[in-house]
Structure 1
Amino acid sequence: MIGSGSFSLMKPWLGWLSASASLAVLVTLGTAAAAWYWRWRDRRRLLRLKQVGTVSGLFIYPIKSCRGIAVQQAEVAKLGLRNGDLRDRSWLVIKEDGHMVTARQEPLLVLISITNQNGYLILSAPEMKDCHVSVKLPTKNPVRNCRLFGFDVQGRDCGEDVAQWITAYLKSEPYRLVCFEPNMLPRNSKDLMEPFRPTDKIAYSDCSPVMLLSEASLEELNSRLEKKVQVHNFRPSILVTGCGPHEEDTWNDIIIGSVQMKGQMACPRCILTTVDPDTGIIDRKEPLNTLKSYRLCDPSEKNLYKSHPLFGWYFGVDKTGTLKVGDHVYKIMW
């Protein structure tokens, strides 16, 4: 529609035209505006949205298996969430031979917390002095070949200081820290799990750029447990409230903020969920055993999930953008 303000701006040059020419110009502009309106209305009609929840938490885990950072807003990039220099699972602890080290092998990794200040990651752990790691590493630092779940990926070595710090904290064989840089080749989610698409990429995540979990699913689990667990046992990227238990399993395509994502598969849970995020003690039993009592897959999907219980949902990123705590979650109703 053309407003009165727009018409006023046209008066000076419409005055030079004949009455018939002026009418023709206005008809042309009006037709264009009408065409734009109908195209916009058709797009809205085709993209029917249903609100299914609200974002109640956003978490970034810069170093794989270390403590996550709660943020109020995040950019969702192709490889996962980021906030400034903090990129989800873009740093990795490795052995000297390049094999990954996670809390499955070293449960105390979950007690390492990370903050970000003036271009540095600051690592803190019990009875350890803080360690500063530059986000932008010198090009002289070697690029190492790393091994995750049987697949190769690169990482630039973060230096001797942090290598010695991690080794001393864990009282382990020599470990090193590497960083995935934007120019490096990411891993393909589809190589790890068949439901993913060729466009779904990851750095050091297990197999998906984004994992979403609902508060209701966690509450349902805790209602069955003697010792309650936290959301941190499950390390989601996005926590959602305002829906029923495991409703996230049905969200094939969603929009949050300016981000559009596609649900690919359930998150198969492993022994990492039994590591207490407050003590670093691995239980090896709960909550995994309880999840297995009611969250195993349908027999037809056993070739995909095997004996792992399912908790939370993996998403690929269709449209990058930003989201924040408090944003509504919309399911696309095709």
Structure 2
Amino acid sequence: MKVQDIYIYPIKSLGGTRLETSQVFIKGLKWDRRWMLVDDSGTFMTQRALHTMALLQVNLTDKGLEVQHKLHPHQKISIPFAPETDRFMEVKVWDDVVSGQIVNPQVDQWFSDILATSCHLVFMPENTSRSIKKKYAVNDETVSFADAMPYLLISQASLDDLNERLEEPVPMERFRPNIVISGCEAFEEDGWELLQIGKCKFKRTKPCARCVMTTVDQQTGIKGKEPLKTLSKYRLSEKKVLFGQNLITLEKGVINVGDQVNVIQ
């Protein structure tokens, strides 16, 4: 088994970017979901309610992020890695309230204009701590602005299995994994408890319950019924549709596309 793909989503709920290599930190892969759009009340914004967020692609540059509209490529903005203000605001991700650093008022205006709703881009500094739920923690692990866990792993075989059941196949980007594995059976990842990639050890915490975001076409921003409708027929458990496995890391390091994946337990 090998690592087929590595993805990060620097700005929560916007388009992700594929990497050949990435540093592994407790909070997640380097730069993964370290930025987030919030409304005027500080509440996080996602494609669940605002499907057009799917149309904003985020890429890494040497100096920071470049955000570009997928349908209107001339609409783009560069965002440096370091926020350009020293102002903070309280922001909310589900039940967690943490401090987010305001990036730049001009950046806020760009996003507000392009999404047609008032919003602010905030960054999570290193000293901002957001803990994962205690029942899943080993060493008081923390997480970035991701929904619940630092890492999401899915096997290519699991997606292939799903696509065989769909009239129109869906790409992996619908499920926003960090690590995609090849060379195993469909849903084999459901039974892994501990795995090693390079020098990094990962522990499975829980299956990932899927929401309506998976039904938003990432190239058009249009919401449909699939793949949730089909997944609910064979991946339903306790009224939750499960696809992919959430992980925490027990050892920091670096992972690369092509790395061997060893299941320890």
TM-score range (shorter-chain normalised) is: over 0.9
* Other structure's SS at 2:91 match: strand
Say which SS state the counterpart of residue 248 (structure 1) adopts: helix
- Answering whether residue 41 of structure 2 is matched by residue 97 of structure 1, we say yes
**Which aligned segments of 4 or more residues in structure 1 are displaced greater than 4 angstroms?**
none
SS at match of 1:280: coil
Deviation at 1:210, TM superposition (A): 0.6
Identical aligned pairs, as a percentage?
Answer: 32
Residue 120 of structure 1 contacts residue 132 of structure 1 at CA under 8 Å; is this kept in 2? yes
Deviations 1:218-276 (A, max 9, x none): 01111111111110000000000000010001110000011101011100101111010
Kept after mapping to 2: 8 A contact 1:188/1:198: no
**Does 2:250 align with 1:321?**
no
Aligned to 1:286: 226
Q: Bigger relative contact order, structure 1 or 2, given CA contacts below 8 A and separation 6+?
A: 2
- The answer to whether residue 77 in structure 2 is matched with residue 131 in structure 1 is yes
- Asked if residue 227 in structure 1 is aligned to residue 173 in structure 2, the reply is no
- TM-score by length of structure 2 reads 0.95
CA distance in 2, matches of 1:267, 1:309: 8
1:123: Cα distance to partner? 1.2
1:67 alignment partner AA = G
Alignment of 1:95-244 (within 5 A): 95-125=39-69, 126-127=71-72, 129-138=75-84, 140-172=85-117, 174-185=118-129, 187-190=130-133, 194-197=135-138, 199-244=140-185
Flag the structure with higher helix content: 1
The residue that corresponds to 1:15 in the other structure is none
Q: Does the CA contact (< 8 Å) of 1:248 and 1:312 recur in 2?
A: yes
Structure 1 equivalent of residue 189 of structure 2: 248
- How many equivalent residue pairs? 263
1:184-211 Cα shifts (integer Å, max 9, x gaps): 12x22216xx444452211200111110
Whether the 8 Å CA contact 1:124–1:130 is kept in 2: the answer is yes
The Cα shift of 1:129 comes to 2.6
The structural deviation recorded for 1:134 is: 1.8
How far 1:143 moved relative to its partner?
A: 0.7
The residue identity in structure 2 corresponding to 1:117 is T
Q: Output the CA distance in 1 between the equivalents of 2:65 and 2:204.
A: 31
Report the RMSD for the aligned CA atoms in angstroms. 1.3
Counterpart residue number, 1:276 = 217
Partner SS, residue 258 of structure 2: coil
* Structure 1: distance between partners of 2:213 and 2:137: 22
> CA 1:197 to 1:296, structure 2 compared with 1: closer, same or farther past 3 Å?
farther
Query: Deviation per CA, 1:288-325, whole angstroms, max 9, x where unpaired?
Result: 1111100012xxxx3xxxx2211000111100111101
Measure, in 1, the Cα distance between the counterparts of 2:29 and 2:55: 21
Q: CA deviation at 1:182?
A: 0.7
Residue 5 of structure 2 is aligned to residue 60 of structure 1: no
For each residue in 1:74-98, what CA deviation from the matched residue of structure 2 results, as whole angstroms up to 9, or x when unmatched? 111001112xxxx000100000110
Where do 5+ consecutive residues of structure 2 fail to align?
none
Q: 1:152-192: CA deviations, max 9, x gaps?
A: 011101111111111111112x111000011212x22216x
Gapped runs of 5+ residues in structure 1? Answer: 1-52
Q: TM-score, normalised by structure 1?
A: 0.76
Three-state SS of the structure 2 residue aligned to 1:189 is coil
In the aligned structure 1, how far is the partner of 2:37 from the partner of 2:209?
A: 23
CA contact (8 A) 1:119 1:136 kept: no
User: Taking structure 1 as reference, are residues 275 and 196 closer, same or farther at Cα in structure 2, changes over 3 Å only?
Assistant: farther
- Work out the CA distance in 2 between the residues paired with 1:236 and 1:221: 15
